[in-house]
A and B are shown apart, each in its own frame.
Chain A
Amino acid sequence: MEETPPKKTTDYSKAVAPLLTVLGISVGAWQFTSQMSHESKMEFSRSMYTKKLQAYEQVGKAVGDLLVVPHDEQLWISAGDTLAFDSCLERFRTCYWGVLPLVEDSAVETAMIQFKDMARFYRRGENDYHDLAREGMSLMNACNKSLENH
């Protein structure tokens, strides 16, 4: 009687175990990286929010200072207070060029431009206090919305 050669059997379990180990490590590493990336983004977003808030507070202070410079009974800028107004306007321009460009969105940028122009028109005696106050409120509302939508 002729002997049949023994069947070749492959022990897949020996190959599967390391594969599963590698797969497990890869998934773990991916989850870790993904989590870190998410936390990093959240941290950046929190940091940006804080910077935005600080910048908008500076703008609010500059706008407030401009709006409390006295005006005359006809709501025009008082001739005797133009120096005070100019000094406050310098502070606003520092925010305009130095602080806001880092954090502002397009709506705040537009409101900043409009307030800057209105402050100039008010300084020249072409627009009255109501116009300046209205643009100031629009600017602060734009800042508020920008923070809400952050």
Chain B
Amino acid sequence: MLRTARKPGDASYVFKAEPAQVVVKECAGGAWKARTEAVTTWSAGGKSGIAFGGARYEVKSLPASAPACKGNSPCMRLATVPDGKTDATRTIYLAH
């Protein structure tokens, strides 16, 4: 199970291997609202990763020295594959 660091404006993602799913908690109306999404794998154009909530993410393992990891190891980054220039890349950092 991996969980992201929590701060105002962030969402919390709790991944489970079996069954492959993620519980996404987002702040809405002053309260945390949770939803569960199924996690699938994808592969296209020589790239691969996981997909959930209608978005495809590339997965990269980052060194603990990376600023975003704050010394945590293992540390992983999920980055969305943008669909067009104006589609901002969403990045999720995961750490134990």
Contacts and interface: CB of A to CB of B under 8 A. Distances in A.
Interface of A: 96-97, 101, 109, 112-113, 117, 120-121, 124-127
The 5 closest A-B pairs by CB, nearest first: A126-B66, A117-B89, A113-B82, A126-B62, A125-B67
Interface string B32-57: 00000000000000000000000000
Interface residues of B, number: 12
Contacts, number: 29
A96 B66 contact: no
Contacts of B67: 124-126
B7 interface: no
Contacts of B82: 113, 117
Contacts of A125: 65-67
B40 to A, nearest CB: 22
B25 interface: no
Contacts of B85: 96-97, 101, 109, 112-113
